[in-house]
């Protein structure tokens, strides 16, 4: 092999020149690559100069090109049709793939082939490099555009229908449609966006065969004629719903059902039209559910079963109409929504309320206004059920004592003073209720005794109540429910708890102690004679007392009550 020094002088010169040029080209290419970091100078994309741009500037320039191309008005028409749609490429979904186009731009002059890269740099230095962006139509936007303009540019095949005039059924047979050639539309829309000034395209169409035939419509018409041939009757225990043939015809519609294999026509009844058609007539067939309740007898407590309610269901009845219309007698039991009671028979039985747990009676004078209030609150509480683990507040349940709720004005004690108020006297009921809780063995959450001892109530086992306080509340800490029964006469009130508690609660009362005598209080009365004294109120002796509740298992619970003394009030001419 000959070495470089063995070559003739001319050959050595030629080699030297080639190597020098190659080295110079490599150095020049390296300089270009270092100096030109973005798009090559003189580069143009979609008519927008992007030379020297990079990063966000380059992306913004491409976005500008997209907006310019997509914003031009474009008229889309079909063969043999005078109608057209005016739109834009952007509306049809024209988009430039900015990321891919940026990569394409920045690749120029940076190819792995140094010759191609050097050529691009020379071309950029001496002239212009024009690049077509990577673009097309966004599928989702293009499909939405087609859907919005389908009725203007296409005619969908008509699958057939039925027309009703009174009870006369008229078939409407299938007809072919005319559809755009979608690939052509897509291709021409993109080319129009790329070509400034092109403002109209014409698209070819193709015939679309309907998915059904005349026989399908004839079969459907026969079904419809059966439905409207006579009236149909729906029965419920409390009445009937009759639909005449004319009413039935007004309810019918045709649905087109499509699946993977075939398209079919189906007769259906329109639920909303059915609801409007029957109107108030169906209300007589609907019933409200009735909760289970408890019935008292000498043998204990029984459960009155709950009753399910019934509600008209247009969707169910719409399907049932087509079923009943094919029966020989054209009648059937009306189906609907079965409405469960809030408190079912099972709910009641699960509470395990089987026997009387406690009862208590207090007596009062007849015919006073306070008796009205006692009866009103007793009626409100009668029949209340307290479930295991549930608390019961008398104030929360009864609410404000108002004349609208039946309460009247009567004497009451408020802040230790006797006053007249709406609902006065119901502490008699509270005391009776207190003792039913007490002897039932349930846990007191809140209670308060009267300020003064009232002789008609048991010492240390009584309660007052007012709104919003004091309250009387307890917790059902047993494993069975409580059914509260109230009853009254003109001179007494009784509260009875029914549940299931083993054993009897007893009470042991201590003797009163720590007596406090009434303080003397004098009031001036100028109408009295000198030295004359009148006792207005003999006062009350105060005392403390303790009572003990004894549970069946031997546990004891103490209740302490302090009654205040009431003043001895006298009147004199001058105090």
Of 307, 426, 337, which Cα lies nearest the Cα of 375? 426
Return d(Cα 304, Cα 17) in angstroms, integer. Answer: 117
Range 505-575: architecture per CATH: Single Sheet (2.20)
Band (24; pLDDT cuts 50, 70, 90): very low
Residue with tokens 């792995």: 112
Reply yes or no on whether the pLDDT at 39 is more than 90. no
- Torsion angle of alpha carbons 193, 195, 197, 202, nearest 10°? -70
- List of residues 6+ apart from 430 with CB closer than 8 A: 394, 462, 463, 464, 465, 472
pLDDT: which is higher, 256 or 26: 256
> pLDDT value at position 54?
87
Return d(Cα 218, Cα 267) in angstroms, integer. Answer: 12
Mean of the per-residue pLDDT values of the chain: 88
Q: What is the mean pLDDT of residues 478-501?
A: 94
Residues 218 and 212: beta-carbon distance below 8 Å: no
Residues 423 and 373: beta-carbon distance below 8 Å: yes
Residues 440 and 358: beta-carbon distance below 8 Å: yes
Return d(Cα 441, Cα 550) in angstroms, integer. Answer: 9
Return d(Cα 337, Cα 517) in angstroms, integer. Answer: 71
Pairing of strands 542-550, 506-509: antiparallel
Q: Helix (H, G, I), strand (E, B), or coil: what is residue 297?
A: strand
> pLDDT value at position 479?
93
52 φ/ψ sector (left φ>0, alpha ψ -120 to 50, else beta): left
Reply yes or no on whether the pLDDT at 36 is more than 80. no
Query: Per DSSP, what are the bridge partners of residue 273?
Result: none
Q: Helix (H, G, I), strand (E, B), or coil: what is residue 19?
A: helix
Range 215-334: architecture per CATH: Roll (3.10)
Residues 251 and 270: beta-carbon distance below 8 Å: yes
Neighbours of 227 (CB within 10 A): 24
Identity of the highest mean pLDDT range in 117-126, 364-373, 554-563: 554-563
> pLDDT value at position 80?
65
Q: What is the mean pLDDT of residues 11-20?
A: 47
Reply yes or no on whether the pLDDT at 417 is more than 80. no
DSSP code of residue 230: S
DSSP code of residue 17: H
Q: Tens of pLDDT along 346-368?
A: 999 999 999 999 999 999 989 88
Neighbours of 284 (CB within 10 A): 12
Residues 155 and 206: beta-carbon distance below 8 Å: no
> pLDDT value at position 118?
74
In the 3-class helix/strand/coil scheme, how is 137-155 assigned residue by residue?
ECHHHHHHHHHHHHHHHCE
Reply yes or no on whether the pLDDT at 332 is more than 90. yes
* Torsion angles phi and psi, residue 276, rounded to 5: -70, -35
* Number of residues that make up the chain: 575
Band (10; pLDDT cuts 50, 70, 90): low
Q: Tens of pLDDT along 390-412?
A: 999 999 999 998 889 888 887 76
Residues 108 and 43: beta-carbon distance below 8 Å: yes
Return d(Cα 70, Cα 93) in angstroms, integer. Answer: 8
In the 3-class helix/strand/coil scheme, how is 361-383 assigned residue by residue?
EEECCCCCHHHHHHHHHHHHHCC
Return d(Cα 178, Cα 260) in angstroms, integer. Answer: 22
Neighbours of 358 (CB within 10 A): 21
Compute CA distances 433 → 294, 361, 546, whole Å.
19, 9, 19
Residues 270 and 253: beta-carbon distance below 8 Å: yes
Of 218, 222, 269, which Cα lies nearest the Cα of 247? 269
DSSP code of residue 497: E
**Cα distance from N-terminal residue to C-terminal residue, the chain:** 152
Domain assignments of the chain as residue spans, ordered by start: 4-71+95-138, 215-334, 351-502, 505-575
Band (418; pLDDT cuts 50, 70, 90): low
In the 3-class helix/strand/coil scheme, how is 445-477 assigned residue by residue?
EECCCCCCCCCCCCCCCCCCCCCCCCCCEEECC
> pLDDT value at position 125?
78
> pLDDT value at position 126?
81
Return d(Cα 522, Cα 539) in angstroms, integer. Answer: 12
Return d(Cα 1, Cα 7) in angstroms, integer. Answer: 11
Kindly state the tokens that stand for 329.
């007698």
Q: Determine what percent of the chain is predicted with pLDDT higher than 70.
A: 91
DSSP letters for 334-345: PP-EEE--SS-H
Return d(Cα 302, Cα 295) in angstroms, integer. Answer: 5
Angle subtended at Cα 122 by Cα 121 and Cα 127, rounded to the nearest 5 degrees: 105
* The overall pTM is greater than 0.75: no
Reply yes or no on whether the pLDDT at 471 is more than 60. yes
Q: What is the mean pLDDT of residues 68-97?
A: 89
Kindly state the tokens that stand for 523.
């009031």
Q: Tens of pLDDT along 238-256?
A: 999 999 999 999 999 999 9
Reply yes or no on whether the pLDDT at 162 is more than 80. yes
Reply yes or no on whether the pLDDT at 132 is more than 60. yes
Pairing of strands 473-475, 391-393: antiparallel
- Torsion angle of alpha carbons 175, 181, 186, 190, nearest 10°? -120
Residue with tokens 């296409």: 154
> pLDDT value at position 19?
44
Reply yes or no on whether the pLDDT at 335 is more than 60. yes
Q: Tens of pLDDT along 111-129?
A: 788 777 777 877 877 888 8
Reply yes or no on whether the pLDDT at 68 is more than 70. yes
Q: What is the mean pLDDT of residues 198-210?
A: 90
Return d(Cα 567, Cα 519) in angstroms, integer. Answer: 5
Residues 344 and 371: beta-carbon distance below 8 Å: no
């Amino acid at each position: 092999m000959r070495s470089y020094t063995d070559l003739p002088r001319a050959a050595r010169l030629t080699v030297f020149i080639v190597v020098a040029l190659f080295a110079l080209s490599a150095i020049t290419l390296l300089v270009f690559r270092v100096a030109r970091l973005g798009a090559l100078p003189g580069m143009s994309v979609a008519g927008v100069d992007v030379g020297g741009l990079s990063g966000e500037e380059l992306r913004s320039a491409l976005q500008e090109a997209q907006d310019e191309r997509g914003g031009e008005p474009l008229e889309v028409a079909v063969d043999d049709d005078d109608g057209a749609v005016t739109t834009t490429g952007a509306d049809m979904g024209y988009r430039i793939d900015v990321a891919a186009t940026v990569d394409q731009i920045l690749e120029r002059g940076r190819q792995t082939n140094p010759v191609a890269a050097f050529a691009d740099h020379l071309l950029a230095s001496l002239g212009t490099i024009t690049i077509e962006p990577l673009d097309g139509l966004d599928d989702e936007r293009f499909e939405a555009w087609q859907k919005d303009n389908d009725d203007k540019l296409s005619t969908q095949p008509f699958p057939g229908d039925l027309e009703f005039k009174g009870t006369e059924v008229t078939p409407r047979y299938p007809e072919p449609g005319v559809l755009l050639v979608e690939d052509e539309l897509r291709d021409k829309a993109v080319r129009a966006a790329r070509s400034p000034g092109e403002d109209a395209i014409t698209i070819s169409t193709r015939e679309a065969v309907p998915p059904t035939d005349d026989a399908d419509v004839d079969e459907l018409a026969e079904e419809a004629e059966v439905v409207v041939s006579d009236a149909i009757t729906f029965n419920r225990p409390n009445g009937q719903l009759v639909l005449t043939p004319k009413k039935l015809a007004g309810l019918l519609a045709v649905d087109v059902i499509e699946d993977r294999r075939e398209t079919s026509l189906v007769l259906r009844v329109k639920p909303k039209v059915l609801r409007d058609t029957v109107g108030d007539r169906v209300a007589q067939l609907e019933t409200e559910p009735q909760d289970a309740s408890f019935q008292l007898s000498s043998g204990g407590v029984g459960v009155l079963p709950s009753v399910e309610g019934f509600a008209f269901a247009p969707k169910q009845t719409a399907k049932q109409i087509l079923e009943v219309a094919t029966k020989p007698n054209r009648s059937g039991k009306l189906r609907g929504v079965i409405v469960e009671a809030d408190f079912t028979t099972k709910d009641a039985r699960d509470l395990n309320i089987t026997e009387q747990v406690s009862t208590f009676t207090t007596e009062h004078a007849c015919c006073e206004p306070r008796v009205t209030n006692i009866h009103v609150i007793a009626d409100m509480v009668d029949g209340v059920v307290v479930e295991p683990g549930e608390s019961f507040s008398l104030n929360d349940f009864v609410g404000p004592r108002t004349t609208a709720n039946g309460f009247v004005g009567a004497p009451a004690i408020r802040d230790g003073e006797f006053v007249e108020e709406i609902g006065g006297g119901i502490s008699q009921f509270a005391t009776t209720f207190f003792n039913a809780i007490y002897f039932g063995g349930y846990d007191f959450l809140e209670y308060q005794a009267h300020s003064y001892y009232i002789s008609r109530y048991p010492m240390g086992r009584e309660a007052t109540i007012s709104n919003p306080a004091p309250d009387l509340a307890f917790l059902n800490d047993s494993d069975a429910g409580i059914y509260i029964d109230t009853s009254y006469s003109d001179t007494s009130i009784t509260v009875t708890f029914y549940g299931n508690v083993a054993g009897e609660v007893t009470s042991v009362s201590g003797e009163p102690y720590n007596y406090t005598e009434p303080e003397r209080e004098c009031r001036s009365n100028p109408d009295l004679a000198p030295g004359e004294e009148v006792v207005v109120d003999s006062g009350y002796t105060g005392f403390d007392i303790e009572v003990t509740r004894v549970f069946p298992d031997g546990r004891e619970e103490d209740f302490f009550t302090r009654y205040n003394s009431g003043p001895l009030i006298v009147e004199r001419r001058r105090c």
